[in-house]
């Protein structure tokens, strides 16, 4: 990660390419809460949501770019 793409279709293409290059059978993709559409597609492909978090800000929350489809890890944001 992260997955940066102009739309859900391109993000899914990148995710599939990355998954195909990984030797592991398991993979974790962390999605921002705003990307419910990609989450729905991944669920149809067999991914299961395992947990959710609450990201809290003091002051105004930063605006994520529309091209941010998935994050690297929760630790890196």
If we measure between CA atoms, which residue out of 68, 75, 63 comes closest to residue 32?
68
pLDDT in tens, 10-50: 999 999 898 889 888 888 888 888 888 889 989 998 999 99
pLDDT confidence tier of residue 58, bands split at 50, 70 and 90: very high
Name the β-bridge partners of 30: 71
Is 38 in contact with 70 (CB distance < 8 Å)? yes
Which tokens go with 61? 């929350």
**Residue 67, CA distances (Å) to 20, 26, 58, 59, 64 in order:** 22, 25, 24, 24, 8
CA distance 11 to 6: 8
């Amino acid at each position: 990660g992260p997955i940066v793409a102009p739309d859900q279709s391109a993000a899914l293409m990148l995710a599939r390419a990355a998954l195909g290059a990984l030797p592991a059978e398991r993979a974790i993709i962390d999605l921002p809460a705003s990307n419910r559409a990609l989450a729905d597609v991944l669920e149809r492909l067999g991914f299961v949501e395992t947990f959710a978090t609450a990201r809290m800000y003091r002051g105004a929350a930063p605006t994520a770019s529309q091209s941010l489809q998935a994050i690297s890890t929760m630790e890196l944001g």
